């Protein structure tokens, strides 16, 4: 048994040596363990689906090298360095959380290797960088979408905004929402909480006295779920509105019936894909993982395809050329819509609004830029 194993590995070694020239290495720097491991795992699933559908480019096999950043900022920088320097990848799909992308991005920038973040929505991530891109829209846009939706679709005139003061994501999003909502003529009250808080009764008691038409919580799902429960217990029956951080099956598991009526802005809805490739993605994902893909999975999928497309257009696997090609992506058909990357490395595309209805994430509408 042992001998066969050794033989096998020797053969594989030879095979890989022979075909080694025929591969393109792409690094994947995700949080696979630690606090936000769930995001990393979901996104990686999407990347894997893309790889299984489109395994090659320029006649070469695409090899993914996954590195875990342990949801830790120091490691986020280390893994990018490791992928570039140790694994010699040509491009990186990576870093989910914006703070991680900022740490990793400066390394990619220095090494002139393109890094494409699937889900970092903070505007600062790509700011002033030539090798950092993203496959998702940015927070100002998401905040704008939320404000438009709240004002036009929910007919809300008074909103209470709950800001998670710990999360830059939440602070940024709340800021952009407030700016646009007030500009449209709405009235805003602010409340604050922090990640890890489990009791929101004080803020909610105060908030409900303002009789809001909508409560906007641009935070992450654990707190949104708990907040929804406690708000319902305090008698609030109106809608919640959240950002893409709300999207996780745990929202419903923790929140139960209380999260019905939570609207959130997102990148994608598996029930209503915009594009043909989106349908293909949903079908393949369901086949591989026996469940509906999340928005993060779709973004992971698109990141892979965007990179593959850029390599194809560049006609080369040189990092510099891939980066240049990425920058000229125009109207690319991805699972989350038609994607254009602007000169700053940001993606311009439509956003969807979903709602939790009977414990299911249900599509509501699409809002275009």
Partner 1 sequence: MWLTDFAQNLINGTLLGGLYALIAIGYTMVYGILRLINFAHGDILMWGVYFALYAVVAFGMPWWLGFLVGIALAGFLGFGIEKIAYRPLRNAPRISSLITAIGMSFFLESLAVVVFGGIPKSFNIYPKFFNHTLIFGHLRIQTLTFFILGITFLLLLGVLWLLYRTKTGTAMRAIATDIPTTSLMGANVDRIISLTFIIGSMLAATSGIMWAMRYPQVQPYMGFVPGMKAFVAAVIGGIGSVPGALVGGFLLGMTEILVVGFFPNLAGYRDVFAYVILIVLLMFRPTGIFTVYSEQKV
Partner 2 sequence: MKRISFKTNFILTVIFVIGSGFMLLWASNSLGDYWARIITLMAIYGIMATSYTLVNGVTGIFSLGHAGFIAVGAYTAALLTLPIQQKAMSFFITPLIWPLNSIQMGFLPATIIAGCVAAFAAFLVGYPSLRVTGDYFAIATLAFAEIIRIVIQNSYSVTNGSLGLKGIPPYTTIWWAWGWLLVTLIVLGSFKFSSYGRALRAMSEDTVAARAMGIDVFKHQLMSFVVSGFFAGIGGALYAHWLTTIDPRPTSLGIMLTFFVLIMIVVGGLGSLSGAVLGAVFFAFSAQWLRIVESPMNFFGLTIPGIPGMSMLIFAVVFILIMLFWRRGIMGRDELSWQYIYNHFSKRVGDQD
Chain residues binding partner 2 by CB under 8 A are 9, 12-13, 15-16, 32-35, 37, 66-68, 70-75, 77-78, 81-82, 84-86, 99, 102-103, 106-107, 110-111, 124, 127-128, 164-168, 170-172, 175, 194, 196
CB of 301 to partner 1, least distance (A): 21
- H or E stretch covering 36: none
Name which of 175 and 316 has its Cβ closer to partner 2: 175
Q: Which of partner 2, partner 1, none sits in contact with 106, Cβ below 5 to 8 A by type? A: partner 2
Q: Which of partner 1, partner 2, none sits in contact with 148, Cβ below 5 to 8 A by type? A: none
Q: Which of partner 1, partner 2, none sits in contact with 57, Cβ below 5 to 8 A by type? A: none
Q: Which of partner 2, partner 1, none sits in contact with 111, Cβ below 5 to 8 A by type? A: partner 2
CB of 35 to partner 1, least distance (A): 6
Task: Annotate 173-241 with DSSP letters as a single string.
Answer: HHHHHHHHHHHHT-EEEEEEE-TT----HHHHHHHHTT--SEEEE-S-HHHHHHHHHHHHHTT--S-EE
Which residues of this chain interact with partner 1, rule CB under 8 A?
33-35, 37-38, 71, 165, 190-194, 196-199, 201-203, 205-206, 209, 222, 225-226, 229, 233-235, 250, 253-254, 256
Q: Which of partner 2, partner 1, none sits in contact with 260, Cβ below 5 to 8 A by type? A: none
Residue whose C-alpha is closest to residue 352's, from 337, 341, 342, 339: 337
Q: d(Cα 72, Cα 96) in Å, to the nearest integer?
A: 12
Name which of 143 and 334 has its Cβ closer to partner 2: 143
Q: Please name the residues in contact with 86: beta carbons below 8 A apart, sequence gap of 6 or more.
A: none
CB of 17 to partner 2, least distance (A): 10
CB of 21 to partner 2, least distance (A): 16
CB of 211 to partner 1, least distance (A): 12
Q: d(Cα 206, Cα 203) in Å, to the nearest integer?
A: 5
Assign residue 61 a region: left if phi > 0, alpha if psi is -120 to 50, beta otherwise?
beta
Name which of 161 and 310 has its Cβ closer to partner 1: 161
CB of 168 to partner 2, least distance (A): 4
Q: Can you give the three-state secondary structure of 252-318, one letter per residue?
A: HHHHHHHHCCEEEEECCCCCCCCCHHHHHHHHHHHHHHCCCCCHHHHHHHHHHHHHHHHHHHHCCCC
CB of 164 to partner 1, least distance (A): 10
Name which of 71 and 260 has its Cβ closer to partner 2: 71
Q: Please name the residues in contact with 263: beta carbons below 8 A apart, sequence gap of 6 or more.
A: 149, 154, 239, 240, 241, 242, 353, 354, 355, 364
Residue whose C-alpha is closest to residue 30's, from 64, 63, 62, 70: 70
| Tokens at 219, concatenated | 């935070």
Name which of 131 and 361 has its Cβ closer to partner 2: 131
Residue whose C-alpha is closest to residue 24's, from 70, 93, 124, 120: 93
Name which of 164 and 302 has its Cβ closer to partner 2: 164
Q: How many CB atoms lie within 10 A of CB 80?
A: 31
* φ, ψ at 127 (rounded to 5°): -55, 125
CB of 163 to partner 1, least distance (A): 9
Q: d(Cα 150, Cα 115) in Å, to the nearest integer?
A: 34
Name which of 9 and 209 has its Cβ closer to partner 1: 209
- Contact call for residues 219 and 172 (beta carbons, < 8 A): no
CB of 205 to partner 1, least distance (A): 5
Name which of 11 and 283 has its Cβ closer to partner 2: 11
347: three-class secondary structure by DSSP: strand
| Tokens at 113, concatenated | 């290797």
Q: Which of partner 2, partner 1, none sits in contact with 197, Cβ below 5 to 8 A by type? A: partner 1
Q: Which of partner 2, partner 1, none sits in contact with 15, Cβ below 5 to 8 A by type? A: partner 2
Q: Which of partner 1, partner 2, none sits in contact with 293, Cβ below 5 to 8 A by type? A: none
């Amino acid at each position: 048994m042992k001998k066969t194993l050794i033989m096998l590995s020797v053969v594989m070694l030879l095979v890989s040596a022979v075909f080694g020239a025929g591969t393109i290495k792409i690094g994947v720097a995700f949080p696979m363990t630690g606090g936000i491991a769930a995001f990393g795992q979901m996104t990686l699933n999407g990347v894997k689906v893309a790889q299984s559908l489109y395994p090659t480019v320029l006649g070469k096999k695409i090899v993914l090298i996954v590195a875990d950043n342990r949801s830790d900022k120091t490691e986020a920088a280390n893994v990018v360095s490791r992928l570039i320097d140790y694994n010699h990848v040509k491009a990186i799909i990576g870093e989910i959380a914006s703070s991680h992308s900022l740490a990793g991005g400066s390394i990619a920038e220095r090494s002139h290797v393109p890094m494409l973040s699937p889900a970092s929505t903070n505007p600062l991530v790509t700011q002033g960088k030539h090798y950092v891109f993203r496959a998702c829209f940015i927070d100002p846009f998401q905040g704008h979408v939320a404000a438009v939706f709240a004002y036009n679709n929910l007919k809300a005139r008074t909103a209470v905004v709950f800001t998670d003061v710990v999360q830059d994501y939440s602070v940024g999003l709340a800021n952009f929402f407030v700016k646009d909502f007030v500009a449209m003529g709405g009235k805003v009250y602010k409340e604050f909480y922090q990640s890890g808080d489990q009791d929101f009764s004080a803020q909610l008691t105060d908030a409900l006295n303002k009789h809001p038409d909508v409560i906007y919580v641009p935070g992450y799902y654990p707190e949104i779920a708990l907040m929804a429960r406690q708000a319902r217990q305090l008698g609030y029956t109106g809608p919640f509105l959240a950002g893409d951080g709300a999207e996780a099956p745990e929202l419903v598991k923790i929140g139960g019936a209380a999260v019905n009526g939570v609207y959130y802005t997102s990148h994608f809805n598996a029930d209503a894909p915009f594009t043909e490739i989106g349908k293909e993605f949903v079908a393949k994902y369901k086949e591989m993982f026996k469940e509906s893909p999340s928005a993060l999975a779709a973004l992971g999928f698109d990141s892979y395809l965007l990179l593959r497309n850029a390599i194809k257009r560049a006609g080369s696997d040189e990092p510099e050329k891939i980066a240049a090609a990425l920058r000229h992506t125009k109207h690319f058909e991805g699972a989350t819509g038609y994607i254009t990357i602007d000169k700053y490395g940001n993606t311009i595309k439509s956003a969807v609004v979903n709602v939790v209805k009977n414990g299911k994430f249900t599509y509501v509408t699409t809002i275009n830029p």
